[in-house]
Structure 1
Amino acid sequence: MTDTLDLTAFGVENLDQLVRIAGATLELQSAGTCEHPIRLVGGRDVIEKATGVLLESGIDRQISVPCGNRRATRCTHCSTLYKYDAYNLVAAGLRGGKATPDTVAVHPRLFITLTAPSFGPIHLGPAKDGTLRPCHPRRDGSSCGRYHRAADPLIGTPLHPETYDYTGHVLFNAAAGRLWSVTTTEIRRTFARLLGIPRRELRDHVTLTFAKVAEYQQRGVVHFHAVVRLDGPDGPDTPPPAWITADHLDRAIREAVTTARLDLPDSKALGVPVVTWGRQLDIRPIGADQLDGDGLSDVTVARYIAKYATKGAETAGTELPPLACRDCTATGYRQIEGHAPTPCGTCDATGRRYDLDAWELREHHRILIETCWRLGAVSQLAALRLRQWAHMLGFGGHFATKSRTYSTTFGALRQERADYMAAHDPLTAAFAESEDLIVINHWSFAGHDDAPRLPKRVKEWPT
């Protein structure tokens, strides 16, 4: 049947690609429509280019557009689109496509997982294969020793909350993105040293690109999964020299992750906090021909990263809206030039938009949030914006990021989808194909079509 089927009519090259597209289409259709659409008012003007005559003028029209939220818990439809885009972005950097050359499939590539250090022993759940295991058995009897099932709320919480390093936990979340930046610099420096070339000449031989995603562990701390790829000096269009292998990259990453550190600003309250990675580091080759032959497939890696690109702190057991009051920037007081600070009436001088009692929080999460709030008052740590990101347990970085030359962009993927939809819309296709017309859209935000936001300091969160 595949010999007689004209796949080019579907815009694909092989049957497997057609099956994936069909499956994605079915999943997208089953996701329904946007759950929190945005209402826009305005219109569209159509002008004849040669004469400047206004052929059509639309005013006071009202339309609804998708919210575009990436989080699966907020909007199934829009997060599904985001997941597909994340998959295509990562997959394009592994096997080509989307303006990325197919030759990247033979470049050295690694899939790495970087974790946070231990801030104290926590209750353990089942192993990855579902097997129950004892929770920190110790001969002195100070451990839990129970076998926690998957739904046990104790999993991920400290065995001894009174000695758990909540400050270090929060600061790691807040500085994880900066630590990653420091680490990539250290990887390049170490890589050049292992190759025996000056750091400034590394780009003349090889370039290092990546795509990463952040994931919350059950204890409420983030760790990173990343694809790291080696390209030639001209980027993805050229392979690296044959004498530079994935083994060199593996050694550079292991050494750099061990030595990378980030010193936070000095303060009387904390001294000079130091943020480093934990001891758990996992590095696996992508493709069976890399390193020891035990490689991951590009599809497996792309799906794995895309899955976590649509998740947030809810995977750690907490999901809150931003807590910081916007009118007083979480300080509790409004500052007007030339006047003394006055208590903020929006938040009753608390600095918070909502009361934490509105949610059934675990004590572990409540302490993490309160720690963010306390450290947010330290002026030297103002750049971390801990109060603004207290609802995310301190992490305020992007969940999915990539190097500029790794592959395509989210913007390009969205534009490609918008162009496709416009070409199949009879109301816009004619305008798009005409070179004699100028179309000017003017729309403004008019609100949300879903339920209103929480009023201040209420005890209930809308479903």
Structure 2
Amino acid sequence: MFRSLPNSDFQDLTFTDREILATATHPDFRAWLTRIRHIGGCQHPVHLVGHTLTVDAGTGRLVRAFTSAEQPHGRLTIACGNRRQSRCEPCARLHQGDTYQLVVAGLAGGKGVPDTVRDHPRVFVTFTAPSFGPVHRHTTDDPCRPSRRRRGLVCAHGRPLWCLDRHPSDDPLTGSPICGDCYDYPAAVLWNAHTRDLWQRLHRNLYEALATTRGMSRTAARNTVRVGYAKVAEYQRRGAVHFHAVMRFDGPTVDTPPPAWATLALLVQTIRTATRRVHLAVPGLDTILRFGAQLDIRPILPGNGSDDDLNERAVASYIAKYVTKPDVAGITVDRPIRDAITISVLPVTDHARTLIRTCWTLGGRPEHKALNLRRWAHQLGYRGHIASKSRAYSTTYTALRAAREEHRRDQADELLPDAPDAITDKQWTYTGNGHTAGQAMFADAIADDLQAARDAAHDARAGGEATGTDTARLAMPTNRRSRPLGTKGGQG
């Protein structure tokens, strides 16, 4: 504890020092530290007041009482659980780990999934968005658009169709249109807004393509082969969403192998055929929405393979990384936009600002009311989950969180007494969120210490398991940049 200071000395301290001192000298400081460490150093915790009472139904005896009055500062502090790294890095890191476990379980088994899935045909696929007009590209050695046949040519608005500059990835021009008037902004926004519908049509088309190839009905195809998947959405610099997905052939259930004719080659052919058949007409838009022509499909091998091969851990790490980093600097923002005036002061590029304004404008039209575009303007119209999976692909986030909470209770010896006929009464009320300035500094220090301990354990484990390959480094997701797989998100 800090010693108490005379009032005059306290006034001489800087604001930061006063906040730290006020936090550290509070009577509940040590208990508060323990609680913040328990929730991983969450940067924006949620505060609740109330109680949970457990009563034996037969005798009416109170088995256990848990109240906020027993907690530091008289309130229960829980983690915010935000998956965005820009909002809460500790919670995002935890969500990233859950995503890794979810994806890798569907590739290598575990968490209730049999390890026989490693023998099923599996691929890593990148589904891109179509073109809405030529854009500046991220290049290092070659000019952006050096084509000789474009030199001297101009668009209908008198702007050149070529660019001899070299754009780094952080150049605001990267991903922006060659001509903003030629770029189809409404189609770009409505593409993002309808990706969920396009994916549903793709999933349905997979079974239609299988049925056509095998000469059977779609129902028979679904009863014979299942296509399991896990996918994540990523924004390109041009503001269009594309998907990275793991796709797998199963038998009727995940624990049964697919028939012998359901080969890796058939899976690749089925995905290509189904993707080409996806189309969607949108009211008020002349363009038919489809997936982009660029479709990258790579097989996932059960072993380590060579440096150029995809393995289970590398793919799971790659997908987990994008779950917590869905936002692209200068392209999207991490909070909803409440009014049109705010758009003009957002820290985004001019291209992104136009996309957001297009969302706001289209959101006021009756034919697009169901899309709720103004609510999702900060995400350029995209209204789906960043990560999703088919029902039988692997375990769920809920199961992973429940297992982690049970483990924590075991570690803290907080298991409830056996009371099969107990009645639980829960009454909790939200009272606020966040830290004071002083609390935030201690919470950040706790988060840094926990991460340093995890990194040290990870490096020690990787060093002990390394056998001449870098695969062990991909065992768990970290903040290090992963090797790009599929289509690069930084390019236009």
* TM-score (normalizing by structure 2): 0.73
- Spell out the pairing of 1:204-353 with structure 2 (5 A cutoff): 204-233=223-252, 235-264=253-282, 266=283, 270-271=284-285, 273-287=287-301, 295-315=309-329, 317-324=331-338, 352=339
Matched residue of 1:309: which SS? helix
- The structure whose RCO (Cα within 8 Å, separation 6+) is larger is 2
Q: Deviations over 1:167-199 (max 9, x none)?
A: 111010100111011111111101121122221
Q: Does residue 185 of the first structure (1) align with residue 194 of the second (2)?
A: no
Gaps of 5+ in 2: 1-36, 70-74, 153-159, 438-492
User: Which ranges in structure 1 are unaligned for 5 or more consecutive residues?
Assistant: 1-28, 325-351, 453-463
Aligned-pair CA distance for 1:124: 1.1
If each structure's helix is expressed as a fraction of its own residues, which one has the higher value?
Answer: 2
Provide the C-alpha distance between the structure 1 equivalents of 2:260 and 2:329, rounded to a whole number of angstroms.
Answer: 42
Deviation at 1:55, TM superposition (A): 5.0
Contact 1:36–1:75 (Cα < 8 Å) also in 2? yes
Q: What is the CA–CA distance in structure 2 between the aligned matches of 1:187 and 1:203, rounded to whole Å? A: 10
The correspondence of residues 56-95 of structure 1 with structure 2, limited to 5 A, is 56-59=64-67, 61=69, 62-95=75-108
Distance 1:320 1:303, change over 3 A: closer
Moved over 4 A (4+): 55-60, 432-439
Q: Pick from 21, 36, 51: which aligns with 2:44?
A: 36
Q: Deviations over 1:291-320 (max 9, x none)?
A: xx9741000110011011112233563325
Residue equivalent to 2:374: 387
Q: Find the counterpart in structure 2 of residue 174 from structure 1.
A: 193
Amino acid at match of 2:270: A
What secondary structure sits across from 1:314 in the alignment? coil
Measured in 1, the distance between the counterparts of 2:43 and 2:186 equals 37
State the identity %: 42
TM-score (norm 1): 0.78
**Counterpart contact for 2:83–2:92, Cα < 8 Å:** yes
In 1: Cα distance, 2:367 partner to 2:344 partner? 30
Contact 1:34–1:67, Cα closer than 8 Å, also in 2: yes
Deviation at 1:444, TM superposition (A): 2.0
Kindly provide the CA deviation profile for residues 38-75 of structure 1, in whole angstroms up to 9, marking residues without a partner as x: 01110121323441123554555311100000011110
Question: Match of 2:111, as an amino acid?
Answer: K
1:148 aligns with 2:150: no
1:445 aligns with 2:430: yes
In structure 1, what is the equivalent of residue 465 of structure 2? none
- 1:78 Cα offset (Å): 0.5
SS of residue paired to 2:132:
coil
- Offset from partner CA, 1:13-44 (integer Å, 9 cap, x none): xxxxxxxxxxxxxxxx9x95111100111012
AA at the equivalent of 2:346: W
Is the Cα contact below 8 Å between 1:288 and 1:295 reproduced in 2?
no
Q: How does 1:116-135 map to 2 (within 5 A)?
A: 116-126=129-139, 131-135=140-144
* Separation in 1, partners of 2:377, 2:246: 29
Specify the SS of the correspondent of 2:324: coil
Q: Secondary structure, in 3 states, of the residue corresponding to 2:42?
A: coil
What SS does the aligned partner of 1:313 have?
coil
The root-mean-square deviation of aligned C-alpha atoms, in Å, is: 2.6
Kept in 2: contact 1:372–1:393 (CA 8 A): yes
Say if 1:448 and 1:146 are closer, same or farther in 2 by CA, change over 3 A.
Answer: same
CA drift of 1:441 comes to: 3.4
